[in-house]
Structure 1
Amino acid sequence: MSRDDAAELGPRSGLGDEADEHVLDAFARHLALQRNLSEHTVRAYLGDVGSLVAHLQESGARLAELDLTRLRAWLVGQQRRGMARATLARRVAAVRTFCTWAARAGHLPVDVGARLRSPRPDRHLPAVLDVAGAAALLEYAQVRAADDEPEHLRDWAALELLYASGVRVSELVGTDVGDLDLGERTVRVTGKGDKERVVPFGIPAARALDRWVERGRPQLVEPRTGSALFLGVRGGRLDPRTLRGVLHRLAAQAGVQDLAPHGLRHSAATHLLAGGSDLRTVQEVLGHASLATTQRYTHVTPERLRAAYTQAHPRA
């Protein structure tokens, strides 16, 4: 990301204090250029810190006057408005990052966020389909695509690839045609922190992708399309919100449990584990930096643990 691009990520929110906006602009550049965070993540950080700045300015204070008391008052206000604990935890993490940076950069006298306690987030797992439900959903998408309508072919290919590879929806819509290798049945995606990984997929997904690339995508290509693999009806790169809506509709029409794209990713991970894959492999497929994330993210039943223990331990 260039310096100009990073500058565009700065808050243009009319917060009312030029000095504060200057600090937030500098924080945006730090996140984008030094920490190499994605545009989406930078915007999320700025939105969270912007909430704190707005709270300060409502009370007549500026960023330079930030202290632990004001931080706690802001957090209490968020809680009273009914904000989910997971969102609160994310906002606290963003503010801690900001305070550490601001203290080192001389914008704050001390790192006031170091003592701010974060609420423990609820560990709600996303909805997950069983194997039969996933098969029913994808079979319905395939039947729907039999008319060779480009949107139907796209939806079938996208859902097959989501389930086959376990990629994030943001990774899938960011994929280019050149990232796809139908011969090897792999796709290269760019995940969090701009980290690339190559993920395999199976024959059903390859069949759907081949139909989409050969028959569906050419019908939607426009001069402005570029290299995007999945396209919207106007020829631009597919919007994640469009794919979420597609999945909700097809789940209802197929008579399976409603779920979001993240739930299809979760289903893929769960089925990999149930089929005998180890956690390290699932970690690589999902692109998790930490194995602990994979352990929280997947269902590991007592039966699965017992079977693995019996098979592996010499004194089981």
Structure 2
Amino acid sequence: MKLGTEQAIDEFITYLQLEKNFSPYTVAEYEKDVKEFFDFLKTESIMDLDDVEYSQARLFVNNLYDQQLARTSISRKISSIRSFFRFANRKYGIKEDAFRSLYHPKKEEKLPQFFYEEELEQLFKANLGSDRKSLRNMAILELLYATGIRVSEMTSLKVGDADLHLGIVRVMGKGRKERYIPFGHYAAEALKAYSEESRPFIMKEKLHDSLFVNLRGEPLTDRGVRYILDEMVKKASLQKIYPHMIRHTFATHLLNNGADMRTVQELLGHAHLSSTQVYTHVTKEHLRKTYINAHPRA
């Protein structure tokens, strides 16, 4: 291609990291999606990005359907590549029509998975411990459930972001939007124990202010959190977990216990109420199942 693809991708990645402030995980997904499309263009003998037309974009998406990928995955790839072409249009004058006119697949009606309160209690009890690793892991779990923050937001926390006296954590969300989220005494106690009895000893001579660290004293990554949660779930003999499931649980439990939608939206850091409204479907389904199980003539 006339435009050096490696250079274009590198500059696009830098843009996502510095200007869009995307998490490392999200940036990696965007990079993978764009490179996948470039590989496809080579098979179609398209050597110049300006030669990309709607027909190639449509064929690429059809190939994704043939691979039986989930609609959410296909939609993400379209968004990633569309973002790249918008960037390339502004930076290099490359036309962006091909993906701009491509529709996203209709979303699958899939309700967010969450833990019931008794399952979550089982998860907490199975992972109690007084060693340094257990104290750190419990602080992670308590804070995720207490605040509903994203894993990327949690791994970005600094030591001074969590005020244990006021029970508030300062979070930098998507688009560098700052918000303050309260947390209760369970999370406060877990954070206090971790901060006093675990983190200083794990850190040794390391000098940085990341709140959560791995066992080598380095800042904890998103991938590290996923591994920790998987291990905690195995201890509790529960189903496989993904970090966003705790965020879903946080929102669902709040709504089940009477919290209003706008408050939950603000706590989650959702820009649009529609993103929060999916949890009303979860709570309605929960009510329906409770009714069927409890009513004598259901």
- Please confirm whether the aligned pair reaches a TM-score higher than 0.5, indicating the same fold: yes
Provide the C-alpha distance between the structure 1 equivalents of 2:40 and 2:142, rounded to a whole number of angstroms: 45
SS at match of 2:169: strand
SS at match of 1:198: strand
Provide the C-alpha distance between the structure 2 equivalents of 1:89 and 1:110, rounded to a whole number of angstroms: 17
Where relative contact order (Cα < 8 A, 6+ residues apart) is larger, the structure is 2
- The TM-score, its normalising length taken from structure 2, stands at 0.86
1:61 partnered with 2:46: yes
- The TM-score, its normalising length taken from structure 1, stands at 0.81
Q: 279-288 or 91-100, which moves further after superposition?
A: 91-100
Deviation at 1:64, TM superposition (A): 1.8
Deviation at 1:284, TM superposition (A): 1.0
AA at the equivalent of 2:123: L
Provide the C-alpha distance between the structure 2 equivalents of 1:242 and 1:24, rounded to a whole number of angstroms: 26
C-alpha distance after superposition, 1:105-163 (max 9, x if no partner): 55334622222122123243343111122122123323xx1xx2111100111101111
AA at the equivalent of 1:52: F
- 1:103 to 1:218, Cα distance in 2 relative to 1, 3 A: closer
Could you tell me which of 282, 286, 310 is aligned with 2:268? 286
Deviation at 1:78, TM superposition (A): 1.9
Please tell me whether the aligned partners of residues 177 and 228 of structure 1 are also in contact (alpha carbons under 8 angstroms).
yes
Please tell me whether the aligned partners of residues 100 and 113 of structure 1 are also in contact (alpha carbons under 8 angstroms).
no
- 1:17 to 1:58, Cα distance in 2 relative to 1, 3 A: farther
- 1:97 to 1:203, Cα distance in 2 relative to 1, 3 A: same
Deviation at 1:251, TM superposition (A): 2.4
Aligned length: 286
The aligned counterpart of 1:210 is 192
The aligned counterpart of 2:296 is none
The aligned counterpart of 2:241 is 259
Could you tell me which of 20, 36, 47 is aligned with 1:51? 36
Provide the C-alpha distance between the structure 1 equivalents of 2:180 and 2:92, rounded to a whole number of angstroms: 41
Deviation at 1:35, TM superposition (A): 4.6
- 1:297 to 1:65, Cα distance in 2 relative to 1, 3 A: farther
The aligned counterpart of 1:242 is 224
The aligned counterpart of 1:4 is none
Could you tell me which of 230, 235, 259 is aligned with 2:212? 230
Provide the C-alpha distance between the structure 1 equivalents of 2:228 and 2:87, rounded to a whole number of angstroms: 41
Could you tell me which of 158, 174, 177 is aligned with 1:176? 158
1:90 partnered with 2:72: no
C-alpha distance after superposition, 1:285-304 (max 9, x if no partner): 11111110011245231797
Sequence identity of aligned pairs in percent?
A: 35
Please tell me whether the aligned partners of residues 21 and 174 of structure 2 are also in contact (alpha carbons under 8 angstroms).
no
Provide the C-alpha distance between the structure 1 equivalents of 2:227 and 2:18, rounded to a whole number of angstroms: 33
Could you tell me which of 140, 143, 165 is aligned with 1:158? 140
AA at the equivalent of 1:129: F
- 1:261 to 1:36, Cα distance in 2 relative to 1, 3 A: closer
The aligned counterpart of 1:127 is 113
Provide the C-alpha distance between the structure 2 equivalents of 1:104 and 1:214, rounded to a whole number of angstroms: 50
Stretches of structure 2 lacking an aligned partner (at least 5 in a row):
289-298
Deviation at 1:24, TM superposition (A): 3.3
Deviation at 1:18, TM superposition (A): 5.3
Please tell me whether the aligned partners of residues 173 and 240 of structure 1 are also in contact (alpha carbons under 8 angstroms).
yes
The aligned counterpart of 2:176 is 194
SS at match of 2:4: helix
Deviation at 1:51, TM superposition (A): 1.5
